[in-house]
Amino acid sequence: MADRGGSDELDEIEAALGFAFADVSLLQQALTHPASGTGAASLERLEFLGDRVLGLALAGMLYRRFPAEAPGDLARRHAALAGGRTLDRVGRSIGLHRHLKTDPRAFARPDDLPSSMVEDALEAVIGAVYLDAGHDAATAVVERFLAPLAAGAPPRDAKSALQEWAQGRGLPLPVYRVTGCEGPDHEPTFAVEVAVEGFPAVESRGASKRAAEFAAAEALLAIVDGGGRL
């Protein structure tokens, strides 16, 4: 078991998670970004694992909680809860942005960390919990934070809403085009443009092509239909 260096910050995160690590080195690794320059093992492998654990835990939770709901509605709930915006919000509520080890020259304040970094750290923490105590413990952590956000009607994702908006007006489907990619390999930023016939194209950015597409769709909806939530 690793020494609990910086135990106060680890205790704070464990208290927020409602989970105490037997092997605290897993939590330390989950809080180490590849850009930290410390030479320590980074969160990348844990993030890979945690992403899959999160997906399964959410799917099981939604399946049980909404027994009469159609698969499409469950999928929209899943996408919203597993999306970067939600994970960033949860990660910051736990305090991950304050304790994530990254390049100190790149970000003057913890609040300056991009949402993608906080999202990756949260998924890494979920992966760490899974390795430390198994599926049930990881599921409990996921449900602790995401179950309260699952209430209400199934959300409509921006891409679906924009497509429905265009079809409802007899317009061709929206066209998405990647216009650029910048940043290091471990933290890329994609630029995507979306266009609907008769309206100016809108460009947005995201940590993945998918995230950039959703951001672009949301931005165009805000222009053409006041948000497109009909």
94-122 pLDDT, tens digit per residue, is 999 888 888 777 776 777 778 888 999 99
Catalytic residue among 47, 51, 193, 213: 51
Distance of CA 156 to the CA centre of its chain: 17
Instruction: Count CA atoms within 13 Å of residue 169 on its CB side.
Output: 17
Angle of the 135-146 helix axis to the 84-94 helix axis, nearest 10 = 100
Q: What is the pLDDT of residue 90?
A: 95
Q: Residue 190: beta bridge partners?
A: 181, 206
d(CA 29, CA 48): 13
Q: What is the pLDDT of residue 227?
A: 41
CA separation for the pair 31, 43 (Å, rounded): 7
Higher pLDDT, 179 or 151: 179
Describe the crossing of helices 7-17 and 84-94 by its angle, rounded to 10 degrees. Answer: 120
Residue 230 has pLDDT above 50, yes or no: no
**Is residue 182 annotated as part of the catalytic site, yes or no?**
no
Residues paired with 202 in a beta bridge: 194
- For the chain, helix (H) and strand (E) counts, in that order, are 10, 3
Give the per-residue pLDDT at 147.
Answer: 94
pLDDT at 7: 66
180-199 average pLDDT score: 89
88, 119, 123, 193: which is the annotated catalytic residue? 123
Pick the closest to residue 34 from 145, 212, 204, 188 (CA basis).
188
DSSP 35: G
End-to-end CA distance of the chain: 54
The pLDDT confidence band at residue 2, using thresholds 50, 70 and 90, is very low
Active site residue 187: no
Query: Is the pLDDT assigned to residue 210 strictly greater than 70?
Result: yes
CA max distance for the chain: 64
Spatial separation of the C-alpha atoms in residues 56 and 174, rounded to whole Å: 31
Phi, psi (5° rounding) for residue 6? 65, 45
39: left (phi over 0), alpha (psi -120 to 50) or beta: left
Q: How far apart are CA 19 and CA 33, in angstroms?
A: 22
